[in-house]
Amino acid sequence: MDISVIGINHDTAPTTIREKASFTSSQKVELLNELLDCGIEEVAILATCNRSEIYIAHSKKDTNSHIKIVKEYYKSKILVEGYERYLFVKKGREAVEHLFCVTAGLKSVVIGEDQILGQVKEAITTSMEIGASKKILNKVFREAITTAKEIKKELKISEKPLSVSYIGIKYLEKNMGNLTGKKALMIGFGEMGKLALNHLLEEGVENIYIANRNIKKIYDEFPKHNVVKPIDFDSRYEIIKDVDMIICSTSAPHKVLKCEDMPIVNRNIYILDMAMPTDVDNKIGELENVFLYDIDDLKEMSKRNLEERKKLSRVAGKIISKEIIEFYEWLEIIKIDPIIKEINDVCKEVEVDTLNYINRKIDLDCREKKIIEKMLSSALKRVIRNPVLKLKEEKNDEKVENYMEMLDYLFDLKMGS
């Protein structure tokens, strides 16, 4: 068994392409089931505003055919000629290293951002809940998450406020000059929106109107707040003429700000669209007095982190390399698990038959039965212990295959049938 990843991210495709390949929650579940039905053993989908990545676990002989299945899915989503130039494909150790680096935030637009760790956890949890992720992906995702926590602790990444939301607010501040005393409209109140709100409050924004379909959620968190003002979602257009900036971060599959519904604004208004797919109609950016920015615009500010990226990567790379070696050592060992289980089952069958025979022939009390059962079980384990240990220690793949075939034949296990 091995692992591959096929996907699109901020390095391979612009926003317009990435949003075509984005997923709603129901689409993720539907695709997980579709890929399982196609014969792929294990699947997990990591979908964020900056990436759409499908991880698969498969037998090595099925690598290319299973990758082709996933690529065909992206082809149907993107619907652009030459779609493959936007895709990346990584196999084996390269795929595992990619997952570890992504989870640690080393491949994010803003290096070390914390949000991706939660998104990776959500991806594997969703997959596990519907049975799409099993022994291999469960293990590699668990190790990637554990390693990411270790890296963040050692490199103190979490102490640096470098989330996409933070960069976005700083980007607005750079273009607007100052946020103190300004008025903002926030559309959406998910995790990214909450982070943006905290940064706006820190910058001294005077009024923050929040339009969310679940307005009770905002009232529950801010029952009485001088700055935060919940409004009905349908009232979002009415408040635009009174604010200096708009921050969008919904998970809607459609536009939540349409050009034809925009009011005329007589002063500069700055719009930051952090959603994927994007919340704001591109035509709005062409209106007079309107300045529209999306996630791709934040890349320029992230260049300042280049030197930090190199420094972190050197330390993190050593940690990740060690964990990948251990993961592949585990992967080598578990491939002989099925035959070991079959041999143990044969031993158990012999043990049960022998104990039944002894009990029929000899009248034993409970204590004597337990002693004989323990001795018999121990003796059978001694018989197979050395062969199993040698099989686990063998590094030559060809020899391992030959030994497994021999054991299959000698014990009549019928593993290949």
**How far is residue 110 CA from its own chain's centroid?**
17
Catalytic annotation, pick one of 49, 101, 248, 347: 49
Pairs from 314-317 (Cβ < 8 Å, separation ≥ 24): 315/151, 315/154, 315/155, 316/101, 316/104, 316/106, 316/151, 316/155
Of 66-80, 150-164, 256-270, the one with minimum mean pLDDT is 150-164
Give the CA dihedral 30, 256, 18, 289, nearest 10 degrees: 180
Residue 54: is its pLDDT beyond 60? yes
Confidence of residue 51 (pLDDT cuts 50, 70, 90): very high
* Residues 378-409 pLDDT 10s: 888 888 888 777 777 777 777 777 877 777 77
366 is catalytic: no
Structure tokens at 266: 């007589």
Highest mean pLDDT among 25-29, 181-185, 331-335, 355-359: 181-185
Average model confidence (pLDDT) across the chain: 87
DSSP annotation string for 172-239? HHHHHS--TT-EEEEE--SHHHHHHHHHHHHTT-SEEEEE-S-HHHHHHH-SS-SSEEEE-GGGHHHH
Structural domains for the chain? 2-160+305-333 (3.30.460.30), 179-288 (3.40.50.720), 336-410 (no CATH)
Output the six-digit token pair for 408. Answer: 């299959």
* 378 CA to centre of own chain: 44
Q: Can you tell me the distance from the alpha carbon of 327 to that of 208, in angstroms, rounded to the nearest whole number?
A: 47
Tell if the pTM clears 0.85, that is, is over it: no
